[in-house]
Amino acid sequence: MNIHQKYLLRCIELAKKGLGSTAPNPMVGCVIVHNGKIISEGFTSPYGGPHAEVNAINAVKNKEVLAECSLYVTLEPCSHYGKTPPCADLIAKYKFKEVFIGLQDPHDKVAGQGIVKLVEAGCKVNVGILEEECREHHKRFLTFQEQQRPYIILKWGETQDGFLAPDDSVREADPQPYWITNRYSKQLVHQWRSEEQSILAGTQTVLKDNPKLNVRNWSGKNPIRVVLDRTLKIDNAFQVLDRSVKTIVLTEESNASKHVDGIDYAVVDFEEPLAKQICDVLFQHNITSVIIEGGAQTLQTFIYENLWDEARIFQGQVRFESGIPAPKIKGTLTHTESILTDSLSIYRND
């Protein structure tokens, strides 16, 4: 690994500090190097705030030294006005001698234009430093830009004998929640929720479990809640409609109000493949990632349409003997770990 790759690796480490707060903007990392030493670092502020390059440049007190510096950044500096001015203009203003970029930004308002601005300003620009690692880091943003859909994470817990939940007859006799995983696994799930922009659950999951779908066991931002409710069976007594968090309800009821007291309604056709329609709605809402925590039918919808990027599967120690079978997927196993008595396996869709 050469020195430029090491600096980009540091940019990736910094960028991760923005996980869960920058979306729908990408979480970018930036370092400024002078005479072989890092003199400033920055990462993207929460959405609406300064970008990584701005934070790194602003942290340098003596701006005159910047013309002698190299700037490293995980993603091409933006070239357009959004919530903030273009980062490429700021870098050009201070005439950095060299800029090292992890990968080009596919956003249609950037797409190489930031690089052009820097070159025209006299900066020597190098693109493709640790590109594979930067693509992995920016997977949410890139999926949204290149495939016009959110990055999709399937999540479920299953028993030792492969069930998601006991039979309905068992639940009717004893309606209390049936926990499969331990409290440390539950806390990890809440951490994951804080890292993603939205979370989705199906009608039956809401009706049976009355989930909050928030991050009460972790410190972080609650995800946008997305709920499938074909015939609007879920009423205001359920926690997902408590209006504490932005909520999107997907229904077939065309007369549902588009927006009522903080709840957005979107009409989809439940007789047609549903996962693609859900992705289209989330794309329209500028949502770059979603965790699917629905029941077996909801999970299977995404698996059947092959619309998923990761599957995070817990296996607990309990056994149900019978019940609702857990989904089956085909993918590449990328990670395994033990969480006390539970096991976690993470798969990637190839």
End of a domain among 125, 142, 159?
Answer: 142
Q: Determine if residue 179 is labeled as part of a ligand binding site.
A: yes
82 and 127 part of one domain: yes
pLDDT tens-place string over residues 120-167: 889 999 999 999 999 999 999 999 999 999 999 999 999 999 999 887
Report CA-CA distances (Å) from 20 to 220, 240, 325. Answer: 8, 20, 32
- 3-state secondary structure string across the chain: CCHHHHHHHHHHHHHHHHCCCCCCCCCCEEEEEECCEEEEEEECCCCCCCCHHHHHHHCCCCHHHHHHCEEEEEECCCCCCCCCCCHHHHHHHCCCCEEEEEECCCCCCCCCHHHHHHHHCCCEEEECCCHHHHHHHCHHHHHHHHHCCCEEEEEEEECCCCEEECCHHHHHHCCCCCCCCCHHHHHHHHHHHHHCCEEEECHHHHHHHCCCCCCCCCCCCCCEEEEECCCCCCCCCCHHHCCCCCEEEEECCCCCCCEECCEEEEECCCCCCHHHHHHHHHHHCCCCEEEECCCHHHHHHHHHCCCCCEEEEEECCCCCCCCEECCCCCCEEEEEEEECCEEEEEEECC
Q: Given this model, what pLDDT does residue 168 score?
A: 66
pLDDT tens-place string over residues 25-77: 999 999 999 999 999 999 999 998 999 999 999 999 999 999 999 999 999 99
How many domains, the chain?
2
131 and 161 part of one domain: no
Q: Determine if residue 337 is labeled as part of a ligand binding site.
A: no
Q: Does pLDDT of 175 surpass 60?
A: no
Q: Tell me the angle at which helices 296-304 and 274-284 cross, rounded to the nearest 10 degrees.
A: 90
Task: Report residue 145 as tokens.
Answer: 């830009």
Euclidean distance between CA atoms 77 and 290, whole angstroms: 26
β-partners of residue 73 are 30, 101
Number of neighbouring beta carbons within 10 Å of residue 284:
11
End of a domain among 142, 164, 193?
Answer: 142
Q: What is the span of the domain harbouring residue 234?
A: 148-348
114 and 176 part of one domain: no
274 and 257 part of one domain: yes
Q: Given this model, what pLDDT does residue 24 score?
A: 94
Report CA-CA distances (Å) from 43 to 49, 202, 316, 326. Answer: 11, 36, 37, 39
Confidence of residue 295 (pLDDT cuts 50, 70, 90): confident
Q: Determine if residue 230 is labeled as part of a ligand binding site.
A: no
Q: Determine if residue 216 is labeled as part of a ligand binding site.
A: yes
137 and 158 part of one domain: no
276 and 185 part of one domain: yes
Q: Determine if residue 213 is labeled as part of a ligand binding site.
A: yes
Catalytic residues: 53
162 Cβ partners below 8 Å, 6+ apart?
325, 326
Confidence of residue 83 (pLDDT cuts 50, 70, 90): low
171 and 82 part of one domain: no
pLDDT tens-place string over residues 300-337: 999 999 999 999 999 999 988 888 999 999 999 999 99
What is the chain's mean pLDDT, rounded? 92
Q: Given this model, what pLDDT does residue 251 score?
A: 95
CATH number of the domain enclosing 153: 3.40.430.10
From the list 46, 50, 47, the residue with the least C-alpha distance to 30 is 50
Euclidean distance between CA atoms 116 and 89, whole angstroms: 11
End of a domain among 97, 120, 142?
Answer: 142
Question: Tokens 């016009």 label which residue?
Answer: 148
Q: Determine if residue 64 is labeled as part of a ligand binding site.
A: no
Residue type, 215: V
92 and 123 part of one domain: yes
Report strand pairing: 259-260 vs 263-267.
Answer: antiparallel
266: left (phi over 0), alpha (psi -120 to 50) or beta: beta
241 and 128 part of one domain: no
Q: Determine if residue 295 is labeled as part of a ligand binding site.
A: no
Report CA-CA distances (Å) from 125 to 95, 117, 122, 214, 225. Answer: 12, 10, 9, 43, 41
Q: Is 283 exposed, middle or buried (0-12, 13-18, 19+ CB in 10 A)?
A: middle
205 and 84 part of one domain: no
Euclidean distance between CA atoms 164 and 295, whole angstroms: 8
CATH number of the domain enclosing 16: 3.40.140.10
130 and 205 part of one domain: no
- The rounded percent of the chain whose pLDDT value lies above 90 is 79
Q: Does pLDDT of 276 surpass 80?
A: yes
pTM value is: 0.92
CA angle 150, 15, 41 (to 5 degrees): 155
Q: Determine if residue 20 is labeled as part of a ligand binding site.
A: no
Largest CA distance in the chain: 74
Q: Determine if residue 10 is labeled as part of a ligand binding site.
A: no
Q: Given this model, what pLDDT does residue 171 score?
A: 56
221 and 130 part of one domain: no
